[in-house]
Amino acid sequence: MEEICIIGAGPAGLMAAICAAQNSAKVLVLETNSTAGRKLLLTGGGRCNFTHACCPEEIAKAFDKPGRFLRHSLHEFSPDEVREFFQWRELPSTVESDGCVFPISNQAADVRNLLVAETIKLGVHIQYQSRVEGISADGSGFIIQSASRRILASRVILATGGLSWPQTGSTGDGYRFAEQLGHTIIPTKPALVPLVAQESWASELAGVSLANVRLRTTVDTRAFAAVGNMLFTQRGIGGPAAQDLSRRLTDALSQRQQGIPVEIDILPGLDEGQVDKQLQQGLQAQAKKNVANVLSELLPLPRQLSQTLCLLAGCGRDVQAGQFPSDRRRQLTRTIKRLPLCITGTEPIAKATVTRGGVSRDEIDPKTMESKIRPGLFLAGEVIDLDGPCGGYNLQMCWSTGALAGRSAASLVVTP
Ligand SMILES: Cc1cc2nc3c(=O)[nH]c(=O)nc-3n(C[C@H](O)[C@H](O)[C@H](O)COP(=O)(O)OP(=O)(O)OC[C@H]3O[C@@H](n4cnc5c(N)ncnc54)[C@H](O)[C@@H]3O)c2cc1C
């Protein structure tokens, strides 16, 4: 009988394996792919934003109310300790101005390779191309059925991830296993996902990106904002700011028929008066140019967007700056500060960065990550009903819950 069997060699499963083996447990990892951490390789655009430079409490807060569940694990393995973990193994990191932490090499592959090397060093066996098909409880242990083998284990750590980017191996199997073992699965939805907009002008701008915008919305009288870069897509808006806002919209969108209004503040660093003044001066100084050209050079903005803004503000794109009425200019200013969009949905879960929903937190002991329903079963990472914002929060959650699950599983005394 195996001592600990971990299902999934993603960030949560690999960290669980390392921490269990460090605590003298004999560990087997089963992974459906032929390599570990396929999704990890894609993180941070291939650079891997592996945590956020802040204290455990701030990470917990970023997860909203569910953050309470995470507190213990975050204190057990904090963002600072995660950085030290990699630093000690010769992978130093750098903190960007927004607090996002990346390996100094800017290579997600370095993070993945280090984790795999560490598991090998500690004597963990990773069995690749080994898709688990079912898990059942057997007396004080578990029977794990894969296509080729039947494995008996006294403890199981479920680290199979969510439903997003299924081509990386996370196809939602873990939900089925947890349900078969008696757990409740909170319905899954896409989180951190591009938003679908009603307006056709948005899709005409597909490919145009904007730095540091502020997106605002109100859902059931609660105001939300997200700041960062965004991108117009074929069906609406994407990029970090849009994805962060999507966390506030997915629940509401699934419950209502009509869309949700969102405003884009293209220049959040300036108030409306300041933008209007700049515009007035710029238009006066370049009276012979057309308004859209002045706008794109002055602010500066992509030309295509400037033209769209002019049209939305009710002025022809070829109007000369010197002949631009002041009421139209004020309307243009308002459009720049409050560009309205109606969000009607999100892209599907397969295109989401993370999954909202999953194994109910109420059924997991936050001090150990052990199931309250099935002793000996532990859960870690995205398979749990937890989703955080962009910025390294989700991987930090995986490291912390993985580490705690590994240590707890290793220290559990199994009665024969
Ligand atoms: C494009 C993209 C970019 C991202 N960028 C960032 C970022 O920069 N920072 C950040 O914090 N987060 C980022 N995330 C989110 C982050 O990658 C995930 O939250 C994280 O990978 C979840 O880790 P996990 O170990 O729980 O699951 P996964 O990484 O999904 O790993 C689960 C593993 O289990 C295996 N598995 C599943 N079912 C079975 C089975 N039946 N049998 C055997 N093995 C199985 C899978 O093959 C997989 O290897 C990004 C996500 C995406 C899609």
- 240 Cβ below 6 A of ligand 1: no
* Whether pLDDT at 1 is above 90: no
Q: Side chain identity at 310, as an amino acid letter?
A: C
pLDDT tens by residue, 149-185 = 899 999 999 999 999 999 999 999 999 999 999 999 9
| 33 Cα nearest atom in ligand 1 | 47
Phi first, then psi: give them for residue 157, nearest 5 degrees.
Answer: -115, 120
Helix (H, G, I), strand (E, B) or coil at 82: helix
Substitution candidate for ligand 1 out of 15, 94, 160, 177 with most atoms within 8 A of CB: 160
Contact 129, 32 (CB under 8 A): yes
User: How, if at all, do strands 27-30 and 125-127 pair?
Assistant: parallel
Nearest protein CA to atom 6 of ligand 1, as residue: 43
pLDDT-derived band at 350, boundaries 50, 70, 90 = very high
Examine the pLDDT at 416 and tell me if it is beyond 60.
Answer: no
| CA atoms of 217 and 213, how far apart (whole Å) | 13
Tokens of 50: 């592996």
Task: Determine if ligand 1 sits within 6 Å of the CB of residue 164.
Answer: yes
First to last CA, the chain: 12
Q: Cα 398 vs. chain centroid, distance in angstroms?
A: 11
Ranking 99-103, 108-112, 135-139 by mean pLDDT, the lowest is 135-139
Examine the pLDDT at 415 and tell me if it is beyond 70.
no
218 CA from centroid of ligand 1 (Å): 31
What's the rounded Cα separation, in Å, for the pair 106 and 94?
9
pLDDT in tens, 54-63: 999 999 999 9
Query: Would you give the distance in Å from CA 408 to the centre of its chain?
Result: 26
Q: Which fold has domain 2-189+350-411?
A: FAD/NAD(P)-binding domain (3.50.50)
List, as one string, the DSSP characters of 5-22: EEE--SHHHHHHHHHHHH
What the block records as the tokens of 289 is 């140019």
Q: Average pLDDT of 193-219?
A: 96
Q: What are phi and psi of 159, to 5 degrees?
A: -135, 50
The pLDDT-based confidence of 315 (bands split at 50, 70, 90) is: confident
Out of 18, 33, 39, give the residue to mutate to test ligand 1, the one with the largest number of ligand atoms within 8 Å of its CB. Answer: 39
Residue 80 and residue 82: Cα distance in Å, rounded? 5
Q: Six-digit token pair at 263? A: 């405003």
Is it the case that residue 252 has pLDDT exceeding 60?
Answer: yes
Distance CA 219, CA 288 (A): 44
What percentage of the chain reaches a pLDDT higher than 70?
A: 99
Q: What is the pLDDT at residue 316?
A: 74
Q: What is the CA radius of gyration of the chain?
A: 25
The CB of 390 under 6 Å from ligand 1? The reply is no
For the chain, give the percent of residues with pLDDT over 90: 91
For the residues of 152-199, what is the DSSP string, one character each? Answer: EEEEEEE----SSSGGGT--SHHHHHHHHTT--EEEEEEES-PEEES-
Indicate if ligand 1 lies below 6 Å from the C-beta of 160: yes
Tally of CA atoms within 13 A in the half-sphere of 325 that contains its CB: 7
How many C-beta atoms surround the C-beta of residue 186 within 10 A?
16
pLDDT of 139 strictly over 70: yes
Residues of CATH 3.50.50.60 domain(s) within the chain? 2-189+350-411
Q: What is the mean pLDDT of residues 118-144?
A: 95
The residue type found at 290 is N
Are 332 and 310 contacting, i.e. CB atoms less than 8 angstroms apart? Answer: yes
Mean pLDDT of 251-278: 93
Beta pairing class for 195-197 and 339-346: antiparallel
Model confidence at 414: pLDDT above 80: no
Q: What angle do CA 28, 115, 397 make, to 5 degrees?
A: 90
The pLDDT score that the predictor gives to residue 258 is 87
What is the model's pLDDT at position 286?
A: 93
Using the atom order of ligand 1, give the atom closest to the CA of residue 14.
25
As a whole number of angstroms, the distance between CA 283 and CA 335 comes to 16
What distance in angstroms lies between residue 10's CA and the mean position of ligand 1's atoms?
A: 5
Q: Which of 100, 90, 83, 98 is nearest to 48 (CA)?
A: 100
Q: Is 41 in contact with 62 (CB distance < 8 Å)? A: no
pLDDT surpassing 80 at residue 2:
no
Rounded to two decimals, the pTM is 0.94
